[in-house]
Chains A and B, each alone.
Chain A
Amino acid sequence: GAVVSQHPSWVICKSGTSVKIECRSLDFQATTMFWYRQFPKQSLMLMATSNEGSKATYEQGVEKDKFLINHASLTLSTLTVTSAHPEDSSFYICSAESPRVYEQYFGPGTRLTVT
């Protein structure tokens, strides 16, 4: 199957700092990538849809100025959590849409802890 990587796999940062998470599709080109967030014992919640070469589409309730998304190439999307707060601590997972319609491949996730 298709491979999607994320970096870093975990990160601890101080309140007020910014953290960048990378999502890469390693063996296919993805014009669309998705960013999700998962709190403990809850489902994955879609945060935004990232489209190569254009602005991301954010879900209701997700602050676009706080969660900056850049999809500069067909294999890389980045999510920057700006001015992180402890409540931003979560498991952030990206997925890349494969050339097969409706099929998404997930990255291994990034566990963010804000102290």
Chain B
Amino acid sequence: RKEVEQDPGPFNVPEGATVAFNCTYSNSASQSFFWYRQDCRKEPKLLMSVYSSGNEDGRFTAQLNRASQYISLLIRDSKLSDSATYLCVVNGDSARQLTFGSGTQLTVLP
């Protein structure tokens, strides 16, 4: 079983749509959770950290369910510029090492 699992997609949605991505992780000792976005042939960039209480940053909302070892990302009012691959990232056995999911590809259509 992969340490971090994501639905690879692709998700093709119209502009303005709401889209949700899910992620599960296997290491119950993980303490830090993140969503990164990666554009084609570029490095990943931190989108947001995910906190137990859930957190929101503009159109983006992240949720964490530790009991189910499940993380989600909700994007509201999708923009064309949101098209990218979204990576679910969890810290591993070492608190400072990150384990990446394989990513979920999103394409926002005009």
Contacts and interface: CB of A to CB of B under 8 A. Distances in A.
Interface stretch (A42-50, A63-71, A75-83): A42-50
A103 B44 CA distance: 13
A34 B97 contact: yes
Contacts, number: 44
Nearest to A44: B100
B102 A43 contact: yes
What does DSSP make chain A's interface, helix, strand, loop or mixed?
strand
A104 B87 CA distance: 14
A93 interface: yes
Contact of B96 (A32, A36, A42, A108): A32
Contacts of A97: 96
Contact of A102 (B4, B32, B87, B103): B32
A109 B101 contact: no
Interface residues of A, number: 22
B41 interface: yes
A43 B32 contact: no
Interface of A: 32, 34, 36, 41-46, 49, 91, 93, 97, 101-104, 106-109, 111
9 closest Cβ pairs, A-B complex: A43-B102, A106-B43, A43-B100, A44-B100, A102-B32, A109-B43, A108-B43, A93-B43, A106-B44
26 contacts: A32-B96, A34-B97, A34-B98, A41-B102, A42-B102, A43-B100, A43-B101, A43-B102, A43-B103, A46-B99, A49-B94, A91-B41, A93-B43, A93-B44, A101-B95, A101-B96, A102-B32, A102-B96, A104-B98, A106-B43, A106-B44, A106-B45, A108-B42, A108-B43, A109-B43, A111-B41
